[in-house]
Structure 1
Amino acid sequence: MAVTEAPTARTYGNFRRPRTVGLRGLSLGATLLLFGGLIAVVLTTLISLWAALGLALALAAGAAPLAVRDRHGRTLMQRAAVRLAWWRTTSAGGHLYRSGPLSRTEYGSCRLPGLAADSALTEARDGYGRPFAVITIPAVGHHTVVIACDADGAALVDQRQTDTWVAHWGHWLSALGSEPDLVAATVTVETAPDPGVRLRHEIDANTHPDAPDLARAMLRLAVAAYPEGSAQITTRIALTYSGAARAGAPRRSAEDMAVHIGTRLPGLTAGLSMTGAGTAVPMTAAELAEAVRVAYDPSVASLVEEARAAGGTGLTWDQAGPMAAQETWDHYRHDGAVSVTWAMSEAPQGEVFSNVLTGLVQPNRDIARKRVTLLYRPHTRAESAKVVQQDYKNALFNAQQARIGQARDDAEVTSARRTTEEQAQGHGVIRFGLLITATVNSSEEMGRAVAAVDNLSAGARIAVRPVYGSQAAAFAAALPLGLVLPLHTALPQTVRDAM
């Protein structure tokens, strides 16, 4: 007699933040500053002890901002730099945005603010003949295509099927490292109140003229009661490609990148069918403009639904932005809504289950509109080997500095070694982050939304912090626009990692 064993739930983990080599947990920049300063102090003692003492005090004052970190891992130097940048932005009026007929924007349009102000939207067709929109960011030469997914959801799904979806999703992400010219990918799960427009049109279109009065009354009651407490969940995947110049070839235009992306889209969307993403279809220019317009002004959501059901809104990219926006230190006001965006500062520690983010992405009654955006930046095969090997060496160096072995250092070395083994077996290495945007209709509702995000993030076992001083940029990065924030900063990534 055969006995069927119940499948055990799989766990996931080993999320690592690569560390730079430094003395006693200091960054590389702080270590170099400390060694250089100590050499200068020793040489100065040959001239004057008082001068050497003054130089030592100056060295301590200069190294402290690079050594002291808060609970989110940010140094005092980084926090001071954000404060300085915010002061410069507000002094120049960069935190204010006005568009429309009375603004300074070209032709009185309502273009997107901030980093996406110079973006352009074009439309092309892929290998299946499906129309798709391409967002071009000229400043960095990036071109983004957005895929709309009709996710199946985990209701009434056994654990074996969930594990299969997660495995195929991991394989799909790993394959992005081999995708030509791919820079980044984002997954945005948005929850918002359902206005019930689609249900009403569906019922009106299928109601027979001779239907009984009782049936009509029941349908009218359903149309009136359904929107109360119901939510609309949308999932969008944005893939960002680089059109930068290559060896022997100039920088590619939006038309050239549209042809390149169009040939890749059929395979990418077909690969998503096994991940639980449901039907994956590229978004058209009109659909993308409508989604961005609703994000900046949620009050027009029902109007957009009505116009879409009537044949189309006719919105263009020049009309997708807000009429007015104002950024403050800890929130962002855009048209008639207020938003706060948080960034993940620490990934889940230890092992987690596949449903660790379920509560975070589900609708919440205290948040009118919520977006959870996963940011991915895959390494190529060659970069992956270098990254994991260097991370393993840095973990060994940090563990060998302590005279008495610590369990945390041993765990870091074990985790880094496991990562190198997995990479050698063919697994991909990918950088990831997470943004959470909560949008409410008034400032009075913001307190409940902040408390709700704090509770949801704790349940997801992640540490988050508000993106102070950069709420506008974080709000735009959480949208499916293909903005890769690290590539829009003045300092290179290597310099920021060493500080």
Structure 2
Amino acid sequence: MTDSTTAGARPTMVRFARLPQRGLLLGLSASRVACIALAAVLATVSVFTAGPIGFATAAPGWGGLLALAFVRKGGRVAVELLPTAAHFAVRGLLRQDRYRVHVDRPRPAGTMALPGDSAALRFLVDDLTGAAIVHDPHEGSLTVVAHVDHAAYILLSPEEQRRRVTGWSRVLAGLAASGLCVRAQVLETVCPDSGAGVVGWWRQARTEPASEGVAWTATQYERLLETYAPTAATHRSLIAIAVNGPSGALGFLRAARRTKELDRIRQEMATLESSLRAADLRLVSWLGEDQLANLVRSTYDTGAPSTPARSLDTAGPVAVDEHWDWVRHDTGYSSVLWISEWPRTEVGADFLHTIVFQPNVTRSLSITATPMSPRQAIRDIRRAKVEHVTDAAQRARIGAIADLADSAELDDVLDRERALLAGHADLKFTGLITLTAATLEELDDAVAQVERAAIQCGCETRRLQGQQARAFTAAALPLARPLH
């Protein structure tokens, strides 16, 4: 991603790189090339062995292979969707696509009651800060969650907006430069609100106007409340950071090493807190066990449970059923969209405004930044350059015409290399949107509504298929989990 700032009152503009479309041959992936090659071999053998009749008889075989190589479903080629579909089918046969809590078999203390691969997560409470620390024994990471408060960005002046963008970029640069941060997740949750709180506050605080001008202002404000209170929403911003930690069970570590690991994450928390303060972002608190447990419970039980959860041991869902492109959990239906393409033209830093402030939709926007080491980034850049040169040579050999998309991808790779050589951090961003509704019909309407909003933002979204349960955990919960 590149930045360009102009003089005057124009806000900071950003431009995102295109999603690489390189492949093994002429932009085709290895699996697509294999299908085309097998189809050609099958068709050739059938012609030479049985003539036209054999060619027609083998048509379902080579035709099916060509269909796998070129037919798309949900934005993905069929052959590239096969591994996901096979894994989903196997999990269905093994009944791993459904989760039920067992009251008669309580979970061990210190484990999070989450379904799927998230069941391996452990937690502990830091005695010094009171924060709940989530431990992933497989990845070897420790995660803490911060509740952040901030002013409305769109109401700030252009100069203040530029300053806020610069401050946030320094926060990300600080996390990447520390070498400890494995992943950083920004989660913006939006829940429709009846507006009763705002209306009730106005009725209590309102006094008799002392002048005609004040009376007119109060009348206009009441009309504004009557119009927009039914479409009000509650916003909450969370930042989760995952740092390098020990593998295996954290509770069985020796006391000295366990203290060392806790000191490391406390240091990262202090660094993030000072960076947020410099960026004019107010750290409300680090989420403790009861706060994180209540957040997990309300995410799965959208019907506002009568008794809030107090322990992460029991805060998970009661029942989860995963389907191809949606998931059923307790009292709601959810579906996760992946932002497959970011804007290709210069846009302002608030380009996601239409998605964030889409009315009457329960949703959460998760943007995960994964820092890449300079060595890994250079290796990826070199591989992309080699793939581009090889693809260009293949096109020239067969006489194919190169299009502007190829040169645009190469320019993005070169811009990324220049930024890396200039000392900037390299981050890999992943955007996920979780939509939740009470019925499947409402969920489909919400998906269509947000997809239209994404187009207005200059983004392209893709409804994930065959991995909704894992995507829901990664996108709806502030656990900084990767989506493989």
After TM superposition, is the score higher than 0.5?
A: yes
Mean Cα deviation higher: 163-172 or 318-327: 163-172
Give the aligned residue type for 2:240.
Answer: A
Matched, 1:347 2:342: yes
- The Cα offsets for residues 344-366 of structure 1, whole Å up to 9 and x where unpaired, read as 2222223222111111112521x
**Aligned residue in 2 for 1:111:** 113
- Once the two structures are superposed, residues 251-305 of structure 1 have per-residue CA deviations (whole angstroms, 9 ceiling, x without a partner) of 997654322101111111221234453335321121111111111112226x46x
Q: Post-superposition shift, 1:50?
A: 4.8
| SS state at 1:485 partner | coil
Aligned to 1:420: 417
Closer, same or farther: CA 397–162 of 1 in aligned 2, 3 Å: farther
Change in 2 beyond 3 A, CA 1:200/1:7? closer
What is the correspondence of 1:239-254 to structure 2 with a 5 Å cutoff?
239-244=241-246
Equivalences for 1:385-424 in 2 at 5 Å? 385-403=378-396, 404-424=401-421
CA offset digits 1:362-391 (Å, max 9, x no partner): 2521x2x21010122110122222222332
Structure 2: how far apart are the matches of 1:150 and 1:268?
14
Letter in 1 for 2:162: D
Which structure 1 residue ranges, 4+ long, deviate > 6 Å from structure 2? Answer: 32-38, 56-63, 107-110, 195-204, 211-214, 224-227, 250-254
Q: Answer yes or no: is the 8 Å Cα contact 1:243–1:251 preserved in 2.
A: no
Aligned length: 447
Aligned residue in 1 for 2:234: 232
Please identify, of 331-340 and 405-414, the stretch whose mean Cα deviation from structure 2 is larger: 405-414
Report whether the alignment pairs 1:78 with 2:71: no
TM-score (norm 1): 0.77
Give the Cα–Cα distance (whole angstroms) in 1 for the partners of residues 348 and 403 of structure 2: 28
**Deviations along 1:152-180, whole A, 9 cap, x unmatched?**
22142111221222222223223333223
Please, which of 93, 96, 99 is the counterpart of residue 95 of structure 2? 93
Matches for 1:2-13 after TM superposition, within 5 Å: 6-13=8-15
Q: Which of 435, 451, 460 in structure 2 is aligned with 1:463? A: 460
Give the distance between the partners of 2:391 and 2:165, measured in 1 at CA. Answer: 34
Q: Which runs of 5+ in 1 are unaligned?
A: 305-312, 487-499
Rounded Cα–Cα distance in structure 2 between residues aligned with 1:260 and 1:483: 20
Aligned to 2:276: 272
Please name the residue that 2:323 is paired with: 328
Equivalent of residue 373 in structure 1, options 356, 366, 377: 366
* Aligned-residue CA RMSD (Å): 4.1
Partner residue in 2 for 1:296: 300
Partner residue, 2:192 = 193
Structure 2 partner of 1:130: 129
Report the equivalent of 1:491. none
Q: Distance in 1 between matches of 2:186 and 2:418?
A: 28
Corresponding residue SS for 2:185: strand
**Inter-CA distance 36–181: structure 2 relative to 1 (3 Å threshold):** farther
- Percent identity between matched residues is 24
CA distance in 2, matches of 1:28, 1:293: 43
Q: Label 1:242 to 1:75 Cα distance change in 2 as closer, same or farther (>3 A).
A: farther
Q: Secondary structure at the match of 1:417?
A: helix
Report SS of the residue matched to 1:287.
helix
| Structure-2 change in CA distance of 1:328 and 1:66 (3 Å) | closer
CA distance in 1, matches of 2:143, 2:68: 36
Structure 2 Cα separation of the partners of residues 134 and 295 of structure 1: 19
Any conservation in 2 of the 1:297–1:322 contact (CA below 8 Å)? yes
Matched, 1:282 2:281: no
Provide the residue aligned with 1:166 in structure 2.
165
Q: TM-score, normalised to structure 2's length?
A: 0.79
Structure 2 unpaired stretches of 5+: 1-6, 210-217
- Cα separation, 1, equivalents of 2:36 and 2:438: 50
Give, in whole Å, the separation in 2 of the partners of 1:201 and 1:107. 45
Q: Take 1:427 and 1:78, find their aligned partners in 2: how far apart are those partners?
A: 34
Change (3 A) 1:320 1:196: farther
1:361 is the counterpart of 2:338: no
Counterpart CA distance in 1 for 2:271 and 2:145 is 14
Distance in 1 of aligned mates of 2:423 and 2:80: 36
Report whether the alignment pairs 1:482 with 2:475.
no
1:72–1:432 Cα change, 3 Å = farther
Q: Work out the CA distance in 1 between the residues paired with 2:329 and 2:402.
A: 52
Q: Which moved more, 1:228-237 or 1:472-481?
A: 228-237
SS of aligned partner of 1:25: coil
Residue of 26, 29, 53 corresponding to 2:28: 26
CA contact (8 A) 2:194 2:231 kept: no
Aligned-partner SS, 1:317: coil
Instruction: Tell me if the contact between 1:150 and 1:277 (Cα under 8 Å) persists in the aligned partners.
Output: yes
CA distance in 1, matches of 2:372, 2:385: 17
Deviation at 1:36, TM superposition (A): 11
Secondary structure class of the residue paired with 1:237: strand
1:420-464 superposed Cα distances (whole Å, 9 cap, x missing partner): 112111122111111111111233422321221121111122211
Deviation (angstroms), 1:143: 1.7
Equivalent of 1:317, from 312, 317, 328? 312
C-alpha deviation, 1:69, in angstroms: 6.5
TM superposition shift of 1:12: 1.0
Paired with 1:417 and 1:212, the residues of 2 have a C-alpha distance of 62
Aligned 8 A contact 1:120 1:317 in 2:
no
Q: Distance in 2 between matches of 1:271 and 1:449?
A: 36
- The one-letter code of the counterpart of 1:440 is A
Contact 2:354/2:456 (8 A) holds in 1: yes
Q: 1:178 to 1:36 in 2, by over 3 A?
A: farther
| Contact in 2 for aligned 1:96/1:325 (Cα 8 Å) | yes
1:260 maps to 264
1:144 and 2:146 aligned: no
How far does the alpha carbon of each residue in 1:71-110 deviate from its partner, in whole angstroms, 9 at most, with x for none? 87633222122221121122111122211525x5548999
The CA deviation string for residues 300-355 of structure 1, in whole angstroms up to 9 with x for no partner, is 26x46xxxxxxxx5610112111222122222111111111111222222322211
